[in-house]
Copies of this chain bind each other. A is one copy, B any other.
Amino acid sequence: MTTFDLILVGFGNVARRFVALLAEERSVLRRGYGVTVRVVGIATRRHGQAYAAAGLRSYERSLSGSAEAGHHAPLASAQSTATRTFLRDALKRSATAARQRRLVVVETTTLDIADGQPAIGHVRAALAGGAHVITANKGPVAFAYRSLARQADRAGRRFLFEGAVMDGVPVFNLVRETLPAVTVIGFRGVVNSTTNYMLTEMERGQPFDAALADMQARGIAEADASLDIDGWDAAAKAAALANVLLDAHITPHAVDRQGITPATGRLAIDARAAGRRVKLVVSGTREGRQVKVRVALEELPADDLLAGLDGQQNAIVLRTDLLEEFAVVQRSGSVTETAYALLSDLLTITRERATRQSPPPARRRRSP
């Protein structure tokens, strides 16, 4: 039985649900994977920080079982230093776990679309301190995938981010673990739930503002509405997909980007009347040595797989060499699904460590 120590950087809904999930799945972790997991550090931006080498037990307990997310014990130390300073200190205090490859930093701060910081800095510090990193934040993989993957590789640690796109529905893990020797040539998809829901509602005549307010009230839309409606969230996901699957080296700012506006409602209504659908489509294709990545409003025929996605459904269609085209469709979304992405990444790490398995070989590119 190995004990994995977690340092949580960011402690919003996703991280809290993740901690609760760890408790719910405790017996699966023990019996199936031979691991126990404890949270040794928590850093929040506004609500303090805490570290305890033996585990923040009372904290974990307050989040599991019947305790409601949000109604948890106050952090042991409300005295807040800079998160990065706290993280460096926590990594030093966990040096033994780091050396034994059983320390994991869980990064769930919110995306800053300007430059992916401070998340990228957290990932770098964590890897430098000997921790594995799992994250549900799109920033690191959208802005700095190549250098972070290289740093992780050199350190012999993992940097995993399944939750960056389509929550816990396998995309990155799918390609890495189940498609050996397959080269991805391109992708198309609908990956932003807020705009897809809004388009579905606007087709039915609901005004832009009402549709957006609805998504904000339900906690689906980003706090900063621009991230969704201006296509930034989709652009970050497209950059992440391109960087990982197409070996691109871009940031969301290099993505040819479109969003939705109140005027889009008219387009959506007219398209629907003609048996077509307007969708905000991300795509990535290799053109010679270039990778073209974009987020664009597209009017799709009814029989396009992406046209069939209503409300919050997402999908990614992968074009490959050996398997031609196939798609993964997410039919629902919830904070549990994002939290599960972190759990699946954590279990990838525990499984590899248990068997001293090296990760699958880096994907080599070939011309399509």
Contacts and interface: CB of A to CB of B under 8 A. Distances in A.
Given A33-B361, A177-B178, A364-B31, A331 B324 contact: yes
Contacts of A364: 28, 31-32
A210 interface: no
Given A31-B361, A170-B174, A326 B322 contact: no
A308 interface: yes
A267 to B, nearest CB: 20
A328 interface: yes
A332 interface: yes
Contact of A181 (B169, B178, B180, B347): B347
Interface in A298-352: 302-303, 305, 308, 310, 317, 322-332, 334, 336-337, 340, 343-344, 347-348, 351
A262 interface: no
A358 to B, nearest CB: 6
Contacts of A331: 305, 317, 324-327
Give the top 9 A-B pairs by smallest Cβ distance, nearest first. Answer: A32-B361, A170-B178, A325-B331, A355-B357, A180-B347, A324-B332, A327-B329, A177-B177, A173-B178
11 contacts: A28-B364, A32-B362, A32-B364, A168-B323, A169-B323, A170-B178, A174-B174, A180-B348, A317-B329, A322-B337, A357-B357
A181 B325 contact: no
B182 A178 contact: no
Interface residues of A, number: 53
A179 interface: yes
A331 B173 CA distance: 20
A360 interface: yes
Please tell me how many copies of the chain the complex holds.
2
A356 interface: yes
Interface string A174-208: 10011111100000000000000000000000000
Contacts of A328: 326-329
Nearest to A313: B305
Interface of A: 21, 25, 28-29, 31-33, 167-170, 173-174, 177-182, 302-303, 305, 308, 310, 317, 322-332, 334, 336-337, 340, 343-344, 347-348, 351, 355-358, 360-362, 364
Contacts of A344: 178-181
Given A32-B180, A169-B326, A180-B347, 9 more contacts: A173-B178, A180-B343, A180-B344, A317-B329, A317-B331, A323-B337, A324-B332, A326-B330, A328-B328
Contacts of A332: 324-326
Nearest to A21: B322
Contacts of A170: 174, 178-179
A358 B329 CA distance: 30
Given A179-B170, A355-B355, A364-B32, A310 B305 contact: no
Contacts of A347: 180-181
Contacts of A325: 331-332
A305 to B, nearest CB: 6
Max chain B C-beta neighbours (<10 A), residue from A305, A330, A332, A364: A305
A305 B329 contact: yes
A201 to B, nearest CB: 15
B340 A322 contact: yes
